[in-house]
Structure 1
Amino acid sequence: MGDSKVKFVYIGLALMGATMVFGVTGYMTIENSGFIDALYMTIITVSTVGYGEVIPLSHAGKLFTVVLIILGTGTLAYTASQFIDYVVAGELRNMFGRKKMESKIDALNDHYILCGFGRMGRIIAQILSENNLPFVIIDPEPRQSETSENQYLFVTGDATHENVQIKAGVLRAKGLITVVDQDVNNLYITLTAKGLCKDLYVVSKCAQEEAYSKLMWAGADKIVSPYTIGGQSIAQSIIKPHVTDFMDMAMGNTGYQIMVEEITIKEGSPVDGAALIDSNIRKHGIIIVAIKKKNDAFIYNPGSDELLLAGDTLIALGRKEDFESLENFLERG
């Protein structure tokens, strides 16, 4: 819709240009005037400003002027109407688009809020989208074309402000991820979010080591240093290249379909209270690497007699289709 309206504006501008060329050429040919005088006469004729003639007009020149007035005013009116239509339609489209997006955000529950849409934010948004997790982006200047193309929901504004986080649904959100450039802004965003909703799970980026303790004090539940993780990953790729390759594969960074997932056992689940060997989980091709118990204790390489209880989280390894099969089994009971 927008591209077609721009096309008509360009057509109008081209017609205006053609009219100017027609007028200048006509006056120079009919009245033998110079270029400047012909251009001046064409402009005052097309614009109908009513200034006096600078060229004495013959009968042929007067008839030409009549034609130029009709042609020029018609072309000018067409161009102006197309330009106004383009501007008004664009504003209305943006207004209705904004209202529609606000309605979608207001309807969200248990979603995630992503503060910052830079290089790291775009990667996080892509992963959340691939996993069908609902989220809202907060950024002072989100890349409109990219967010629109990917149908991302976003709020334009400063994520350190309470009203901006409230617009993004922080009071109904499941978690908040803050990956803006400055640690001080990540700190303020964390403080604001925890002040509005103390039980909200907050993950924050931390670039400087000295900011870590401040983010902990602010209430961040998880603090991630991209430089530390990046450095460790590079070092491990030299020291233990095969382990690194396997971890990349498990995290979905290669073409392999194997992945690591976490499965939380819900109350009333068919595996609630069952031993691992009796749960039939392994029949779905899933390998249980560890269990995080309700009291936050980790059990690595759990035995076959390990009891699975509601609230436990299974750290599992398998293919995407295996996890889909297991999910169907757990839902059906």
Structure 2
Amino acid sequence: MRSSKSVLISILAMLLAIGAGTIGFSISEKLPFFEALWLTVVTILTVGYGDTVPQTFYGKLFALLIIPIGVSIVTYATGAVASMMMEGEFSKTVRRRKMRKKIDSLSNHIIVCGFGRVGEQVVRELLKNGTRVVVVEKNVERLEEMNDPILYIEGDATEDGVLLAAGIERAAGLVAALPADTDNVFISLTAKGLNRDIQIVARAERPETEEKLRRAGADKVINPSFLSGRRMAMTILKPVSIDYVDTIFHDYDEEFALEEIKIAAHSPLVNRLLRESEIRTRYGVTVFAIQRGNAIISNPSSEEVLHAGDLVIVFGKKEQLDRFEEIAK
């Protein structure tokens, strides 16, 4: 802010000096406006072309006064511009160092590779959910201009060193959201090599690439074009249902929500029938499905037994979900 103010002051001082010099030379040398302006500018900037010079005593005397003033203003302006440039680079350097320290202290965070149309939406949703995110992006101009507190690493996400700098060894998940399928395949392969336990969600533009991404290590593959087309069709066919689902998933102020809650080994729900647990009666939540290993049990019956390690997908009010999560732990 100080540097910007100094530059503004120097510009105003320069205009004032040029205006005063033009008037002074017009009077003392009886010069036309443009000739007086030309003589003022070359005098203040100490260019000295020699084509127009003061001829009268008063003109020379006026030049003696305006030259040191002009040199002082030009020197001040040069210093102000240089200071502003240096402060800009310095602030960027300080900001990046602070980000590096924050990234080094993170664990169980999500790395998002690519900050394009898809990547930015992924980051926004994760941040809304309170998830810690680190972006890996080659072109960081937009990230630097944004006021959002988004942590990022500048570099190529396909390189081991860049992923290590983003904390890949401590991360819980990675989203490969680059527009090129080949890059996402390489990122998935590299990420799994650096952290075998990391969960990877990869973007695919072509259907034939989806299986390659899975073989490379992606746990989930998302085709944005396919999902968008299906979503548009379902919005036409079932608009009310789609709007309601949107409200649940995207409106964070909504009273109801859908959550994934894991049943801990010491939970009182372990080895009990859903009927006996009375989850709906006691906690007010509805069990939509149960993930057990790689299998999904949709709309489980009341005779289904809960096991330690089951991931229960439940729907209800947020306070009800919180109470159920406490008993599940």
Task: Indicate whether the TM-score tops 0.5.
Answer: yes
Distance 1:51 1:131, change over 3 A: same
Task: Choose which of 247, 250, 254 in structure 1 pairs with 2:248.
Answer: 250
Paired with 2:149 and 2:278, the residues of 1 have a C-alpha distance of 39
Preserved CA contact (<8 Å) 1:174 1:200: yes
Deviation sequence 1:85-104 (CA, Å, 0-9, x none): 21111111111100000000
- Answer with 236-245 or 160-169: which moved more: 236-245
Who is 2:284 aligned against? 285
Preserved CA contact (<8 Å) 1:252 1:258: no
Quick check: 1:303 aligned with 2:314?
no
Task: Choose which of 159, 181, 189 in structure 2 pairs with 1:161.
Answer: 159
Paired with 1:147 and 1:106, the residues of 2 have a C-alpha distance of 23
Preserved CA contact (<8 Å) 1:147 1:153: no
Paired with 1:238 and 1:40, the residues of 2 have a C-alpha distance of 70
Paired with 1:132 and 1:153, the residues of 2 have a C-alpha distance of 14
- Report the 3-state secondary structure (helix = DSSP H, G, I; strand = E; otherwise coil) of the residue aligned with 2:250: coil
Aligned-pair CA distance for 1:151: 0.5
Preserved CA contact (<8 Å) 2:262 2:328: no
Preserved CA contact (<8 Å) 2:28 2:58: yes
- Report the 3-state secondary structure (helix = DSSP H, G, I; strand = E; otherwise coil) of the residue aligned with 1:61: helix
Who is 1:66 aligned against? 64
Distance 1:59 1:150, change over 3 A: same
Aligned-pair CA distance for 1:240: 3.4
Paired with 1:147 and 1:128, the residues of 2 have a C-alpha distance of 20
Match for 2:285: what amino acid? I
Who is 1:178 aligned against? 176
Task: Choose which of 27, 30, 33 in structure 2 pairs with 1:32.
Answer: 30
Paired with 1:67 and 1:330, the residues of 2 have a C-alpha distance of 85
Paired with 1:113 and 1:192, the residues of 2 have a C-alpha distance of 13
Preserved CA contact (<8 Å) 2:268 2:328: yes
- Report the 3-state secondary structure (helix = DSSP H, G, I; strand = E; otherwise coil) of the residue aligned with 1:170: coil
Aligned-pair CA distance for 1:255: 7.3
Deviation sequence 1:175-215 (CA, Å, 0-9, x none): 11011111112112112212222332111111111211221
- Report the 3-state secondary structure (helix = DSSP H, G, I; strand = E; otherwise coil) of the residue aligned with 1:203: strand
TM-score by length of 2: 0.89
Task: Choose which of 77, 81, 102 in structure 2 pairs with 1:79.
Answer: 77
Who is 2:260 aligned against? 262
Preserved CA contact (<8 Å) 1:108 1:172: yes
Distance 1:62 1:180, change over 3 A: same
- Report the 3-state secondary structure (helix = DSSP H, G, I; strand = E; otherwise coil) of the residue aligned with 1:291: strand
Preserved CA contact (<8 Å) 1:147 1:154: no
- Report the 3-state secondary structure (helix = DSSP H, G, I; strand = E; otherwise coil) of the residue aligned with 1:114: strand
Paired with 1:169 and 1:73, the residues of 2 have a C-alpha distance of 53
Who is 1:9 aligned against? 7
Kindly tell me the number of residue pairs found equivalent between the two proteins. 328
- Report the 3-state secondary structure (helix = DSSP H, G, I; strand = E; otherwise coil) of the residue aligned with 2:95: helix
- Report the 3-state secondary structure (helix = DSSP H, G, I; strand = E; otherwise coil) of the residue aligned with 1:92: helix
Quick check: 1:113 aligned with 2:111?
yes
Deviation sequence 1:127-146 (CA, Å, 0-9, x none): 11111111101111135457
Aligned-pair CA distance for 1:249: 3.1
Aligned-pair CA distance for 1:247: 2.6
- Answer with 58-67 or 200-209: which moved more: 58-67
Distance 1:76 1:272, change over 3 A: farther
Task: Choose which of 193, 199, 202 in structure 1 pairs with 2:200.
Answer: 202
Paired with 2:91 and 2:220, the residues of 1 have a C-alpha distance of 39
Unaligned runs of 5+ in 1: none
- Report the 3-state secondary structure (helix = DSSP H, G, I; strand = E; otherwise coil) of the residue aligned with 1:315: strand
TM-score by length of 1: 0.88
Paired with 2:60 and 2:265, the residues of 1 have a C-alpha distance of 92
Paired with 1:271 and 1:233, the residues of 2 have a C-alpha distance of 37
Paired with 1:202 and 1:77, the residues of 2 have a C-alpha distance of 56
Aligned-pair CA distance for 1:231: 1.7
Aligned-pair CA distance for 1:50: 6.3
Aligned-pair CA distance for 1:58: 2.7
Aligned-pair CA distance for 1:279: 4.6
Unaligned runs of 5+ in 2: none
Deviation sequence 1:32-83 (CA, Å, 0-9, x none): 2355653453234323456658424433223211221232122222212221
Preserved CA contact (<8 Å) 1:202 1:222: yes
Who is 1:230 aligned against? 228
Preserved CA contact (<8 Å) 1:206 1:226: yes
Aligned-pair CA distance for 1:154: 0.7
Who is 1:218 aligned against? 216
Preserved CA contact (<8 Å) 2:143 2:150: no
- Report the 3-state secondary structure (helix = DSSP H, G, I; strand = E; otherwise coil) of the residue aligned with 1:105: helix
Paired with 1:327 and 1:92, the residues of 2 have a C-alpha distance of 47
- Answer with 23-32 or 85-94: which moved more: 23-32
